[in-house]
Chains A and B, each alone.
Chain A
Amino acid sequence: MAAVRKWTGLGLGVWALGLALALSLPGAPWKQPRPPLFPWEMLGPTVLALVALALLAPLLAWRTGPALARRRVLALLEAPPDLLWGALVLALWPPTWGPPGVGAWLLAFLAAALPGETRWLAQALPGEWPFPQAWGGAAVRRVRQLSLTRLWGRWLAARLPVWLTATLVLEQVLGRPGFGTDWMTRVVVRDRTGLCLWVLALALLWSLNQGAEEEVP
C-alpha cells in the first residue's frame, strides 16, 4: 500500500507541475481575444468515441492476443497520421452529402486511434507459449481476460488525456471544433484559467481511476 501511495503522490505531483505550467504559461496574445465557449455539444460524441475505443480496443486485443502486436497489417494501419485519415474522409465524402459531420469525425477518430491502442494493449499482454497455450483455448482466453481487466484501468488513465486532446488535427481538417480545438485555442489566446480547469479535470479523471484500482502485491 505504501508503494501505491508513493506512486499516486508522484502522479499528483506531475499534475501539480502541469497546473503550475498552465498558470505560468509565457507569452501574450497580440490583441486580447475572448476565450472560446466550451464545446458542450461535442461532449456526447466525444464520450461515444471514447466508449467505443475503450471497448473495441480491449475486445480486439482479447480476440487476437499478444501476437497481434507483431502483425504487419496492424503496423500498416497504425502508421498513417491523423491528418491522413482526416484528409481521406474529406476526399471520399460525397459532395452532395454536405460537409462531413460528427459521424465522419467519429469514423476518422476510430480509424486513427484504434490500431495504435490495440497494439498498446496487445503488447502489454503476457506471453502465451508454452503456457497457457498448453492448457487449451479456454485457459488462454481466461488469462487474456484477467490481464486485460488488470490493464484496462491503467490504460485508460494513461491514454484518456491523450484521446481528449489529440483530436485537434481531425477537428481542424474536418471543421468539427471539439475538445482538442478548445484546448489549443486556450493556449493561443493565453486563457490560463481555462487551461488550469483542463488540467484539473484531467487530474480528477486520473485520480478517480487511481482510487478505483487496487494494487495486488
Chain B
Amino acid sequence: MRHPLQALYLVVTVLFTFAPLSAQMVEESLAQDPGPLDFIRGDSYEQWILQSLAGDALVGLSAEGRLVPRLADRWEAQADGTVRFHLRSDARYPDGRRVRAEDVVWTVRQLLQQPQASPTKRAVLEGATVGSDGGQPWIRSPRPPGRLLMELARVPIAQAGHPEGGSGPFAFRKEPGAWVFTRREHFLRPRIDGIRFRLLPDPGGVATALEKGWLSLGAPATRRQAQPPPTHRLVIQPMHAQLVVWSRLGAGPLRQLEQWRKDAFPPHLLGQNARPSRGLWPETLGFRPRAIAGNPAPDPGPAMLRLLYGAGEASLEKLLLALRERARRDGIDLQLRPLEQGLLAERLQKGDFQLACSMVVFEPHPWAVLEYLEPQGPMNFTGWGHPRLADLLVRLRQPGGPAWGDLQDLWAREPAALPLLDFQSVIWVDRRLQVEPSPMGLYLPTPGAAGWRWRL
C-alpha cells in the first residue's frame, strides 16, 4: 500500500506544481471558424484577431485610436502622397529572419494582384504603388497620408513567399479543435505565455465555460451578462459597431426610424450591450450626433414597409419586434423579413430591398464612414452619390476638421442609411488578468494582447 500512496502523492504534487504554469495561458473562445491563418486572403473578424496576434502592421493604433509605431519606428509623408517607412531593426519572423522592405513590397503586391486577396485590404491599397529605397519601403497612394496610415494599421506584413508567416508577438500553431498562440521574443515584449482559442459558437456554452473556469475571458449571453462568477469581473467597452438600416425608399422611412429609435427599445431588451444611436455616424469615431436635415415630422410615406434582417439572432429579433410595435403606433405596418446571412448580403449587394438592416463593425478611424458614400464603397448599397462629394473627399486630410462637418451635413440632407443602435462589448474577464479595453476590442490595438499581464 505504501508505494501506491507515495506515487499518488508524487502525482498530486507534480500536478499542483505545474497548475500555476499552465494557468499563464489565456483561454478564449471564437464564435466562428476563422479558417487558416492567411495574411493575404484572410478576411473576417476572427481572422483579424489571429492576424493581430501573429502579425505586425507597419503602424499600429493605440487603444485611444492614435497612430503608434509598430514595424516602422517612424515614417515621413511627402507632398506627392508617398509615405516612407523606417523599419525597426529588431523585428523578426519566427525563423529568425529580419523583416525587410522586400516583405512589405511582396505583401502589398500580393494584396493588389491576387484575385482572392482580402477585399478589405485591397480596398485600402486601391491605386497604391509600393517600392523600396535604400532598404526602406515606401507606399504611394491617392488617399491622404492621414487616412492611408490609419488604414495600414489593419494590414499586417507577411514574410515574402509565406502568406501564413507573420512577425507578431505570438507564434501560431493549430491544434485539434484549438488555435494556439505562444509568446515569442518580440519588441512589444508580451507578458502572458500565450492564448488558446476554442471554437464555441453557442453563447450558452461560453457562459458555462466561463462559470466553470475553462475560459479566462468571454462574452456571455445577454440575459446572464450582469452576474459574472466570483472569479471574473465585468468589462464593458464601447465598440465601433452599430445596427444600421439602409433605405432604397429615400430618406422618408429613415426620418420615421429616427423618431422611433428614441423610444422603441425597452431598456431590459437592450441590456448593457446596446443603446439607441443618436446621430448618423458612430460617435465612437469622433462624430457629433447629427439629425437628418429637413422636416422632423414623419413623411406621409407608404403605410407598409418591409425590413430585411439576418435571421438567427434571438436578441436582434426581439429588438426588431419592439420597433415594429413602435411603428404600429404611428399607423405603419413594419413587416419584418428574416433572411439567412448570405442571402441578406446578396440582397444588399444587389440593392434588392426596401429597408434592410445589419450589424456593422466600422474600421477604427473616421474614414470608415466613406464606405457609405464612395461610389464603390462596400456599404453603398443604394448607389448614393453627390456632385460635391469628390471635392469634400480631398479635404479630409486629418481626423476632425471642418471638412468632416461639411461631409456630414451633405449626408444628413439625404442619407441612405441610419444607425438604430450603438453596441458595446460586454465581457467577463478573469480577475487575475489585466487587459486594456478599447473601442477596437482587446486584440486589435497596439500592444493589444502583448500588453496583457497576470496579476500576482
Contacts and interface: CB of A to CB of B under 8 A. Distances in A.
Interface of A: 26-37, 39, 41-42, 87, 90-91, 93, 95, 98-99, 172-177, 181, 185, 187-190
B199 to A, nearest CB: 5
Given A30-B341, A99-B214, A181-B201, 10 more contacts: A28-B345, A30-B345, A31-B118, A32-B41, A34-B36, A36-B33, A95-B214, A173-B202, A174-B205, A188-B342
A172 B119 CA distance: 29
A37 B345 contact: no
B209 interface: yes
A27 B345 contact: yes
Contact of A99 (B119, B198, B341): B198
A48 to B, nearest CB: 14
A34 B205 contact: no
Contacts of B315: none
B342 A190 contact: yes
Contact of A95 (B29, B212, B346): B212
Contact of A37 (B36, B43, B47, B120): B36
Contact of A26 (B209, B214, B343): B343
Interface residues of B, number: 39
Given A29-B345, A36-B35, A175 B209 contact: yes
- The 7 closest A-B CB pairs, nearest first, are A34-B35, A27-B342, A41-B176, A95-B212, A33-B44, A36-B33, A27-B343
B376 interface: no
17 contacts: A27-B341, A28-B346, A31-B120, A33-B34, A33-B47, A34-B44, A35-B35, A37-B174, A42-B176, A42-B177, A90-B208, A95-B212, A172-B205, A173-B202, A173-B204, A187-B342, A189-B35
A177 B177 contact: yes
Contacts of B201: 172, 181
A87 B35 CA distance: 26
Given A91-B208, A172-B201, A172-B205, A34 B343 contact: no
Contact of A175 (B38, B116, B119, B198): B198
Contacts of A176: 177
B199 A181 contact: yes
B209 A177 contact: no
A9 B212 CA distance: 53
B417 to A, nearest CB: 15
A189 B35 CA distance: 10
B335 to A, nearest CB: 21
A65 B242 CA distance: 59
Interface in B350-372: 358
A187 B213 CA distance: 32
B9 to A, nearest CB: 18
Interface string B330-344: 000000000011110
A11 B71 CA distance: 58
B35 to A, nearest CB: 3
Contact of A185 (B29, B32, B176): B32
Given A29-B342, A31-B44, A188-B342, A175 B174 contact: no
Residue from B41, B44, B200, B342 whose CB has the most chain A CB atoms within 10 Å: B342
B340 A99 contact: no
Given A32-B118, A33-B43, A98-B214, A177 B33 contact: yes
